[in-house]
């Protein structure tokens, strides 16, 4: 953990101070930028293990920064901070390339859990590609494709789809998805798993991938081959 470098882009100095101090106490190296314009100029430079980006920033807003960062560094791990808490806002943020979001105000413990989850690298004992119908996931390359169509997935979308494919034809409760994919305890008040599931469904549909992610009311989700 000692070598993990985090870039925090947050204009509220007390919030930035609280986050950076907490992360340093937990062994992370943290650089802080308070201005969106300055951040935009520096994003093309040296890479960080994780980017924490606030949405509302002076100069250039966080969503624009995330889009540009995603273009420059497709594998970047990005956590978005936002005071906006409607589902549409969050989906817009995830659409822009964030891997995860946290709504202000939040407890530091929650931030730390999200950070750990994003930095946790999938340790595959058997990194052979997984296949369900024509959908193929390569854990080594972190690539997904349906037939000859590449499916662009963010890190968390990839982790979620990987988990669903490993458990094909099994009903997986939300609690289990939260623990296994996000490394956090499930909070019934949040809907990030549903947001990600919908997002995956949309991307699979766009790529004409056959497996379906079904909702089993009151129980969870299941990934099924189409002709099962």
Residues that bind Ca ion (CB under 5 A): 11, 54, 56
Which CB atom, from 11 or from 38, has the smaller least distance to Ca ion?
Answer: 11
Distance in angstroms (rounded) separating the CA atoms of residues 76 and 66: 10
Closest-by-Cβ residue to Ca ion is 56
- Do residues 174 and 182 make contact, with C-beta atoms less than 8 angstroms apart? no
Which CB atom, from 81 or from 200, has the smaller least distance to Ca ion?
Answer: 81
Distance in angstroms (rounded) separating the CA atoms of residues 10 and 217: 39
Nearest distance in Å: CB 64, Ca ion:
14
Which CB atom, from 56 or from 91, has the smaller least distance to Ca ion?
Answer: 56
Give 151's strand partners. 144
Give the C-alpha distances (Å, rounded to integers) separating 151 from 33, 145, 161. 33, 5, 11
Which CB atom, from 33 or from 137, has the smaller least distance to Ca ion?
Answer: 33
Nearest distance in Å: CB 91, Ca ion:
20
Give 102's strand partners. 81
DSSP per residue over 165-187, as a string?
HHTTTS-B-HHHHIIIII-S---
Nearest distance in Å: CB 104, Ca ion:
9
Nearest distance in Å: CB 19, Ca ion:
12
């Amino acid at each position: 953990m000692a070598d993990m470098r985090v870039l925090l882009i947050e204009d509220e100095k007390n919030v930035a101070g609280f986050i950076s101090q907490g992360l340093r106490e937990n062994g992370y190296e943290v650089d802080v930028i308070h201005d969106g314009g300055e951040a935009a100029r520096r994003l093309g430079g040296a890479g960080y293990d994780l980017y924490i980006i606030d949405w509302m920033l002076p100069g250039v807003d966080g969503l624009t920064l995330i889009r540009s960062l995603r273009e420059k560094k497709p594998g970047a791990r990005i956590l978005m901070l936002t005071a906006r808490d409607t589902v549409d806002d969050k989906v817009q943020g995830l659409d822009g390339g964030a891997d995860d979001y946290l709504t202000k105000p939040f407890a530091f413990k929650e931030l730390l859990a999200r950070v750990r989850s994003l930095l946790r690298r999938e340790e595959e004992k058997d990194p052979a590609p997984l296949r369900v119908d024509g959908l193929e996931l390569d854990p080594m390359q972190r690539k997904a494709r349906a037939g000859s169509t590449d499916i662009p997935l963010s890190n968390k979308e990839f982790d979620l789809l990987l988990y669903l494919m490993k458990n094909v034809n099994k009903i997986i409760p939300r609690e289990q998805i939260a623990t296994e994919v996000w490394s956090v305890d499930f909070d019934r008040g949040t809907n990030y798993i549903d947001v990600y599931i919908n997002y995956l469904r949309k991307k699979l549909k766009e790529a004409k991938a056959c497996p379906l992610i079904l909702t089993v009311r009151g129980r969870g989700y299941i990934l099924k081959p189409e002709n099962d």
